[in-house]
Structure 1
């Protein structure tokens, strides 16, 4: 699933491509479960509206429209947006076409159809957005926040960092990398993390996310940018998907365990 850097990459590219353009029509080729709500209303609510901005909240893309309205998208596992010249007919995994007055198309493509598209007049009406925790690149990401909310938590630290109600936007790849850089074992309880270790988590969360954004995200399997190119940060991963490969710091083979049905990669020597 695309994580914060991948979604931020898509947001920045879409902002350059579509802002100022107007939706002339919407064609839906697969409704369930992608388009949420009534299909005719979905089309009616978007036609004639101008893209004013595209931004990110956690792993969600938010399209600001004028007259005021919002298109909210989540890519889930394999969703992606493509901006192209008009196609004569939809390709196999095209799910929704947003035809633009400029003559181009913004296409929502999704192999597995887990992605979602929703329209809101007010973002406060989105229950999903309202449940989200702090942004990891924001000033709210502080030592005080973690000590107040997690100082006595018995939950495993990896589970906590993946909890979107606590920190919004982190996923499996980056949490594995953050904990490795911070030298913290993924199975430790959040309550056992001391101030110095929380400071390291904050430091490396910001550093790794910013570096991943600079490299247009990480492509392990499905992630593609708006121009269909891959990200490049996979070249800099130190533990994720490196099972049995030597640790870059000590040479110990990287181990893989399963936490909450997700793979975790770590160095048993460096991470304590």
Structure 2
């Protein structure tokens, strides 16, 4: 699933390429990707709307449109949102195309989990957005807030980091990387972490997300950026997707376990339980 660095990469690229363009129409090839409103109304309502800006909240992309509307996109597991200047053949599994007065924006999604909403910018909102916790790179995500959430929870720390109501945008890849950077075992209980460990994890979260953004995201399976190119952060991962390979710090073999149904990677020596 594209996480904060991947979605932020897409946001920045689209903001530079399509802000100011007008949506001349939309072709819907798979109706279930339209979460709201009904597909026919979606197509009618979005036609002729100018794109005023592109923002992000957690893993959601937010397109501010003229006339007081907002387009919300969540790529879920395998969604790709790609801007193209030429109308060539569409890739397989393309479910939605926004036709622009210059080029097109297509949603391609092998697993068909991605969803799109068109809602009034004021008033009605996508309910998942209301539940999101603070942005980890914002001033709202303070060290004090994070330590307080740790102290109140007996959940395993990996599960806590993946909870979008605690902090928005972290997924499996960057949770593993942050825990490794902080030397914290993913199966430990959040409230068992010391203040020193909590502070180290707070810093690690922000550091690994910034690194992921700098490398234009992590391409392991399906992720490509807004121009269809892979990111490069997969070449800088320390533990995630590296089971059986040596830890870059101590040489111990990286292990993989299932925690909460998610594949979890860690170094048993650098991250003792």
Describe how 1:84-163 pairs up with structure 2 within 5 A: 84-87=84-87, 90-102=90-102, 104-122=103-121, 125-163=125-163
Q: Deviations over 1:199-231 (max 9, x none)?
A: 111111111111110110000010001221100
Deviation at 1:147, TM superposition (A): 3.1
| Number of equivalenced pairs | 271
Question: For 1:28 and 1:112, how far apart are their aligned partners in 2?
Answer: 16
What is the CA distance between 1:51 and its match in structure 2? Answer: 0.5
Deviations along 1:130-159, whole A, 9 cap, x unmatched? Answer: 010111101122232123333132100000
User: Is the CA contact 2:62–2:71 (under 8 Å) kept in the aligned structure 1?
Assistant: yes
SS in 2 for 1:32: helix
Name the residue aligned to 2:238.
Answer: 238
Worse overlay, 32-41 or 112-121: 32-41
| 1:173 match | 173
Q: CA deviation at 1:162?
A: 0.5
Which residue in 2 is equivalent to 1:71? Answer: 71
Q: Structure 1 stretches of 5 or more lacking a match?
A: none
Gaps of 5+ in 2: none
Displacement, 1:88?
5.7
Given that 1:172 and 1:264 are in contact with CA atoms closer than 8 Å, whether structure 2 keeps it comes out as: yes
- After superposition, residues 14-93 of structure 1 pair within 5 angstroms as 14-87=14-87, 90-93=90-93
Runs of 4+ in structure 1 deviating by more than 4 angstroms, as ranges, are none
Cα RMSD of the aligned pairs, angstroms, is: 1.4
Q: Which secondary structure state, in structure 2, belongs to the residue aligned with residue 125 of structure 1?
A: coil
- Name which of structure 1's ranges 84-93 and 9-18 shifts more when overlaid on structure 2: 84-93
Q: Is the Cα–Cα contact under 8 Å of residues 33 and 95 in structure 2 kept in the other structure?
A: no
Cα distance in 2 for partners of 1:149, 1:179 equals 16
